[in-house]
Chains A and B, each alone.
Chain A
Amino acid sequence: MDLHFTDEENAFRAEVRAFIDANLPARTRQKLMEGRKPSRDDLVEWTRTLHAKGWSTPRWPVEYGGTGWSPIKQYIFLEEVLAAPAPEFLSFGVSMVGPVIYTFGNEAQKQRFLPRIANLDDWWCQGFSEPGAGSDLASLTTRAVRAGEHYTVNGQKTWTTLGQYANWIFCLVRTNPEAKKQEGISFLLIDMKTPGITVRPIITVDGAHEVNEVFFDDVKVPVENLVGEENKGWDYAKFLLSNERIGIARIGVSKARLRRLRELASLPGLDGTCAIDRPRFRDRLIETEIALKALEITQLRVLSDEAKGLNKGKPNPASSVLKIRGSELQQATTELLMDVVGAYALPFADPHEARNEPPVGPQWADAVAPLYFNMRKVSIYGGSNEIQKNIIAKAILGL
């Protein structure tokens, strides 16, 4: 047992940090520091900077543009990105559809899509959920009927994150309505510019436009856009969902936020007092730091097993532990931010309107309540925390 990173790993961390410091635009960093979202252009710019360095798809196999880093190095890299803070990868391409394509796709699909994901030439979004198929994803009803060289797709997807920027969507569609529900599903890649697709915004409680509804009305999709075999889509989806294990707890995000919290809590507020001097607040901050440390070590234990090739290919039930606690900590850190900002959480600044007046409270204050509201999503999506507990009870405890 050794809690320390090796010299080589530490040198690697220094290299990553130096690269980020030298290349991350100051305005992007500032935005993220204040808890605001990067714009589309911020993310494209940053992804291309990383791509030029060969770092935009580090977890992919080397032959497709990966870095060949060990899981621990992958972890260090992600942690540094989030600590900067720099924008995270667009996960829909890099961690979701990319791995599905290089694992199950054909040669033509790999050639066509993978380089464009790595350079963010294509913006992908995820078309899994439907109004009637949330936790029970396998009950999805969007229908694809094959006739000659095309599928005709009809139905509706929802909660499509950042679909307003996307030019491609990967979808689970029902190709065999007669089969058992998991066995009649296929994985289709659909060009968002195809006639018959309509995207409608859903505004979330924080006032942001982050998610969408996507409607398919007789949309013609070439058969060449089917990934793998027809009616095997559920297997690919399961692969996709368990594939994001490394980032699911978003420990780096919470770490960066806790560091920032300590900073803000140590600054005198408008009333001249520091939140950190309030014992009740300080205790909660420290409790959160402890919980995060524990989760970080849990995550490293999982990674270290992975590095040794243990449990290979099997979905690790520990990912449910990481998801639950990781999402709770993301929420806890935003609650602590609310405690620091206090009454100045109240003023609302519309994120879609250009700001021409200074914020009412401290510079960073107006982003806090929206972030707190928005973070309620993390215990709902990616398999809700209730569903994760069902998995723990069944898969780990055998109940």
Chain B
Amino acid sequence: MDFDLNDEQRLLKDSIDRLMADRYGFEQRQGYIRAEGGYDRALWLEYAGLGLLALPFREEDGGIGGGPEEVMLVMEAFGRALAVEPYLAGVVMVSSLINALADEAQRAALVPAIVAGETRFAIAHAERAAGNRSAHVATTARATGESWILDGAKTLVLHGGSADAFLLTARLSGKAGEDAGLGVFIVPADVPGLSRRDYPTQDGMRAAELTLDGVALDADALLGDNRDAFSALARMQDEAIAALCAEAVGAMEKALELTVDYLKVRKQFGRPIGDFQVLQHRAAEMLIELEQARSMAIYATMMTREPDSVARSRAISAAKVQIGKAARFVGQQAVQLHGGIGVTMEAAVGHYFKRLTMIEKAFGDTDHHMTRLAEAGGLAA
């Protein structure tokens, strides 16, 4: 057992923390949100310079070969800063699919541009009729001669509006809902027949709806020529959840910090409100939730390495449940203890609350993961 960071990890953490301290004041963040595409391109390039975009890609492809622990460190720092860049979708999820599926030629074509911040991908997987069923892909890809023809629609594509290209799931055979017969395609955003509707999200980021109407792609657009990508998609989803858990921990940690600071400075009845024992206990309960969540985020991170996909999914669901509960409690109480200020746009705490709320809803809410865990027989030690 060892929960300590090694030297390289400590270095990584320090450099991200420094960058965030420098670039992610609350006002700066509001500026990034207003920028074209909903994030700051220059900052994205700084991430590239620091190697953050290369982090989870393989070394032989031009990446750094970092593991889930390194991703956790980055996501936690982003959670603290409430970062709005498309790191989860554009790096964590994209690297998961490319590492798992892409052939050598594709990796050589894609990875260097991604890690340099020149090309940004988004993941287009969810569909309106799918709900929580990951295999429910009705978008089709038909092989005709030398090319693929794609038809269908994708929903809630995180940061899809400003993406240069997509990794997009489509069905090569079978019916929506079947695990078999799925492929992942490389789809440039400007390909004829693809239209998108870009919109802001409640937590200060952006997403898009995509429609594909007879989109023609070259034969080599199918990642790794793999026609059975379901398990790679399931792994990507689990890795995304682990990363999201780390982000939530960072966000909760900062929300608690803001709250404790406020309890010390806000005076009512002639003394700091932090003197009231009921508020001290509330803050203590927030800390307990945070620590429980942190433990489960670490657990989820380690378990993404687990080769047995059933054991891995259980662990991920357990973590998502713990994080969901903690995020709700910490988010709500952080607002409550701020009083009226907590429900305004001008105070940072409300933005943490909103992001934490949306994290609970992302990739299956608490109920979904409770059910998934129950069906798998619980977490039995």
Residue interface mask A374-395, B partner, CB < 8 A = 1:
1011011100111001000000
From B269, B336, B362, B365, A379 is in contact (CB under 8 Å) with B336
When distances are taken between beta carbons in the complex, the residues of chain B under 8 Å from A385 are 336
| Bound complex: CA A270 to CA B267 (Å) | 49
| Also in contact, A380 and B358, with CB within 8 A (given A269-B131, A273-B131, A346-B156) | no
| Also in contact, A348 and B131, with CB within 8 A (given A205-B345, A339-B367) | no
* B201:A136 contact, CB within 8 angstroms: no
Chain A residue with the shortest CB-CB distance to B350: A205
* B365:A342 contact, CB within 8 angstroms: yes
When distances are taken between beta carbons in the complex, the residues of chain B under 8 Å from A203 are 344-346
When distances are taken between beta carbons in the complex, the residues of chain B under 8 Å from A372 are 357
**Nearest chain B CB to A352's CB is how many angstroms away?**
12
* A134:B362 contact, CB within 8 angstroms: no
* A386:B279 contact, CB within 8 angstroms: yes
* A342:B202 contact, CB within 8 angstroms: no
From A270, A349, A380, B340 is in contact (CB under 8 Å) with A380
Q: Does A303 contact B (CB under 8 A)?
A: no
When distances are taken between beta carbons in the complex, the residues of chain B under 8 Å from A370 are 202
From A135, A207, A270, A350, B345 is in contact (CB under 8 Å) with A207
| Bound complex: CA A384 to CA B333 (Å) | 13
Q: Which of A207-256 contact B (CB under 8 A)?
A: 207, 211
From A342, A350, A369, A379, B357 is in contact (CB under 8 Å) with A369
| Bound complex: CA A280 to CA B366 (Å) | 10
* B136:A271 contact, CB within 8 angstroms: yes
Q: How would you classify the secondary structure of chain B's contact residues: helix, strand, loop or mixed? A: mixed
| Bound complex: CA A379 to CA B201 (Å) | 26
* B353:A205 contact, CB within 8 angstroms: yes
Q: Does B278 contact A (CB under 8 A)?
A: yes
Chain A residue with the shortest CB-CB distance to B267: A132
From A205, A346, A386, B344 is in contact (CB under 8 Å) with A205
When distances are taken between beta carbons in the complex, the residues of chain B under 8 Å from A271 are 128-133, 136
| Also in contact, A376 and B202, with CB within 8 A (given A134-B340, A136-B269, A278-B367) | no
| Bound complex: CA A204 to CA B130 (Å) | 33
Q: On chain A, which size bracket covers the interface? A: 35 or more
| Also in contact, A373 and B350, with CB within 8 A (given A280-B370, A346-B207) | yes
Q: Does A343 contact B (CB under 8 A)?
A: yes
| Also in contact, A343 and B156, with CB within 8 A (given A271-B131, A373-B350) | yes
Q: On chain B, which size bracket covers the interface? A: 35 or more
* B344:A339 contact, CB within 8 angstroms: no
Q: Does A357 contact B (CB under 8 A)?
A: yes
* A202:B358 contact, CB within 8 angstroms: no
| Bound complex: CA A379 to CA B332 (Å) | 10
Q: Does A129 contact B (CB under 8 A)?
A: yes
When distances are taken between beta carbons in the complex, the residues of chain A under 8 Å from B365 are 339, 342
* B350:A380 contact, CB within 8 angstroms: no
* A373:B354 contact, CB within 8 angstroms: yes
* B276:A342 contact, CB within 8 angstroms: no
**Nearest chain A CB to B24's CB is how many angstroms away?**
19
* A270:B199 contact, CB within 8 angstroms: no
From A202, A270, A278, A350, B129 is in contact (CB under 8 Å) with A270
**Nearest chain A CB to B134's CB is how many angstroms away?**
12
When distances are taken between beta carbons in the complex, the residues of chain A under 8 Å from B155 are 360
Residue interface mask A106-141, B partner, CB < 8 A = 1:
000000000000000000000001001011100100
Chain B residue with the shortest CB-CB distance to A281: B367
* A343:B345 contact, CB within 8 angstroms: no
Q: Does B20 contact A (CB under 8 A)?
A: no
When distances are taken between beta carbons in the complex, the residues of chain B under 8 Å from A158 are 340
When distances are taken between beta carbons in the complex, the residues of chain A under 8 Å from B200 are 347-348, 350
Q: Does B335 contact A (CB under 8 A)?
A: yes
* B202:A347 contact, CB within 8 angstroms: yes
* A135:B339 contact, CB within 8 angstroms: yes
* B199:A376 contact, CB within 8 angstroms: no
When distances are taken between beta carbons in the complex, the residues of chain A under 8 Å from B279 are 386
When distances are taken between beta carbons in the complex, the residues of chain A under 8 Å from B346 are 202-203
| Bound complex: CA A135 to CA B338 (Å) | 12
Residue interface mask B108-142, A partner, CB < 8 A = 1:
00000000000000000010111111001000000
Chain B residues proximal to chain A, CB less than 8 Å? 126, 128-133, 136, 155-156, 197, 199-203, 207, 209, 267-270, 273, 276, 278-279, 332, 335-336, 339-340, 342-346, 350-351, 353-354, 357-358, 361-362, 365, 367, 370-371
* In the A-B complex, the 7 residue pairs with the closest CB atoms: A271-B131, A205-B350, A136-B268, A203-B345, A348-B200, A136-B269, A270-B128
List, sorted by A's number, 27 A–B pairs whose CB atoms are closer than 8 Å: A135-B273, A203-B346, A204-B345, A211-B340, A270-B129, A271-B132, A272-B129, A280-B367, A338-B357, A343-B156, A345-B202, A345-B361, A346-B156, A346-B361, A347-B200, A347-B207, A348-B199, A348-B202, A373-B357, A376-B332, A376-B343, A380-B340, A380-B342, A384-B336, A385-B336, A386-B276, A386-B278
Given A271-B136, A278-B371: 17 more A-B contacts, CB < 8 Å: A136-B268, A203-B344, A204-B345, A205-B351, A271-B128, A271-B129, A271-B130, A272-B129, A338-B357, A342-B365, A343-B361, A345-B361, A360-B209, A377-B340, A381-B340, A386-B276, A386-B278
Chain A residues proximal to chain B, CB less than 8 Å? 129, 132, 134-136, 139, 158-159, 202-205, 207, 211, 269-273, 278, 280-281, 338-339, 342-350, 357, 360, 369-370, 372-374, 376-377, 379-381, 384-386, 389
